[in-house]
Amino acid sequence: MPLDVGGLNKETGWISKWALMVSALAADAIGRQAIEDAYFAATDAMRAKFADSFVNAAKLATDAVTAAKLTQPTAEGILGVGFRVCRAAYSFAVDGGGVGTIALLGATSIPANAVICGGMVNVTTALTGNLNATAALQVEAANDIVTAAAVSGAPWSSTGRKSIIPAFTGAASVLTTVARDVSLVIGTADLTAGVFDVYLFYIVVA
């Protein structure tokens, strides 16, 4: 039934506020009518309380949806402000160290159209190897994360956090054309020891 708002001009502000909440919080006609009837049957004080209650409820609902989106887990990590985090691990005891390419994730976990913006390598056990052994890291193409270098020198010969080629600049970023793994490429001679983790921060652009 139509609302009779005669004599309520002094409460125009409350009516407008209530109308907005009715349309937002009651999707069906019966629900809207029930809320309207309750409002116009109430005293001025109760109308104010009704309005404040619905404003708070709407805010809480919005906050809950926002919080859920900000903490939505992904296969690679946590999706927050657009970045995803991929962690890949290498251990000589688990993965071996023969010359060749070792897939560190064992799956193409970085999707196509991912722009790798930055990250680091955290070496916890320095790499060692037979004479002239080298190590490199790649995702899309050879040497695009860490250029091949002798394990007897930087960045592999000491523990700690090491820089990678993507350094949060457009020119240094890496774009995947298909879903990719993170790979360790061992060259010249076998490794004999080493443990490290790779952390890559990326966004998906398409």
Q: Dump pLDDT digits (tens) for 26-73.
A: 555 555 566 666 666 666 666 666 656 555 555 555 555 545 544 444
pLDDT at 206: 78
Higher pLDDT, 21 or 126: 126
* Contact yes or no for 50/58 (Cβ under 8 A): no
Q: What angle do CA 56, 81, 124 make, to 5 degrees?
A: 130
The larger pLDDT score, comparing residue 36 to residue 183, is at 183
**What CA–CA distance (Å, rounded) separates 155 from 162?**
6
Confidence of residue 18 (pLDDT cuts 50, 70, 90): low
Q: What percentage of residues in the chain have a pLDDT greater than 70? A: 61
> The whole model's pTM is what?
0.62
| DSSP reduced 3-state for 37 | helix
Residues 87-132: tens digit of each pLDDT: 999 999 999 999 999 999 999 999 999 999 999 999 999 999 999 9
State mean pLDDT over 148-153: 98
Give the chain's length.
206
pLDDT of residue 32: 57
Q: Which of 12-16, 100-104, 175-179, 190-194 has the lowest mean pLDDT?
A: 12-16
CATH 2.60.120 fits 84-204, yes or no: yes
Query: Which is more confidently placed, 149 or 41?
Result: 149
DSSP letter assigned to residue 14 = H
Nearest alpha-carbon partner for 155 in 134, 181, 171: 134
Q: Are 84 and 176 in contact (CB under 8 A)?
A: no
User: What residues does each domain of the chain span?
Assistant: 9-70, 84-204
* Higher per-residue pLDDT: 171 or 64: 171
Chain-wide mean pLDDT for the chain?
80
Within 8 A by CB and 6+ apart from 198, the residues are 86, 87, 88, 89, 90, 104, 119, 120, 121, 122, 137, 145, 164, 182
Hunting for tokens 């196509």 — which residue is that?
Answer: 112
- Give the residue, 139 or 46, on which the prediction is more confident: 139
Q: State the Cα–Cα distance between residues 134 and 148, nearest whole angstrom.
A: 6
